[in-house]
Amino acid sequence: MAHPTLACAHCGATNRIPAERFADNPLCGRCKHPVFSGEPIDASEANFRSLVEQSSIPVVVDFWASWCGPCKQFAPVFREAASRWEPKVRMVKVNTESAPALAQRFGIRSIPTLMVFDQGREVKRLSGAMPPSQFDQWLLGTLNQ
Ligand SMILES: [Zn+2]
């Protein structure tokens, strides 16, 4: 990954922002909105690369579907975690119904499936919803390994 960037949560433009500036609530060079929103970002097949695979910070991807009950239970856990974990980690959601090519590419067989990407590579994967405390522990273990 030659040029890790951060995609703007508002417009999707890629920004190069050094980690030491994360705490200053950096603004997007294109749209001037904050690059971090504190909320999960919906990824599409079109922006998955810039949003996830070229991200300069680790990204947790939640593969979900509208018909999946455990996904609905986990959604508020994921949303709340995003407000606490950014800018250390970014939370991204992939709707497997609107982005089936991504689900196929990563071999998603059950949902929800959580995948952590760091420097463009998958570093961890887990299937199934979790309560908040367990999700935090899983994330901590993933990031510290
Ligand atoms: Zn922007």
pLDDT per residue as tens digits for the range 13-44: 999 999 899 989 999 999 999 999 999 999 99
Question: 3-state class of 20 per DSSP?
Answer: helix
* Distance from the alpha carbon of residue 51 to the mean position of ligand 1, in angstroms: 12
pTM (global) more than 0.85: yes
Query: In the chain, what are the domains?
Result: 38-144 (3.40.30.10)
Residues annotated as catalytic are: 68, 71
Locate the DSSP E strands across the chain.
Answer: 6-7, 14-15, 41-43, 59-64, 90-95, 113-118, 121-127
Cα(48) to centroid of ligand 1, in Å? 16
- In tens, the pLDDT along 85-132 reads 999 999 999 999 999 999 999 999 999 999 999 999 999 999 999 999
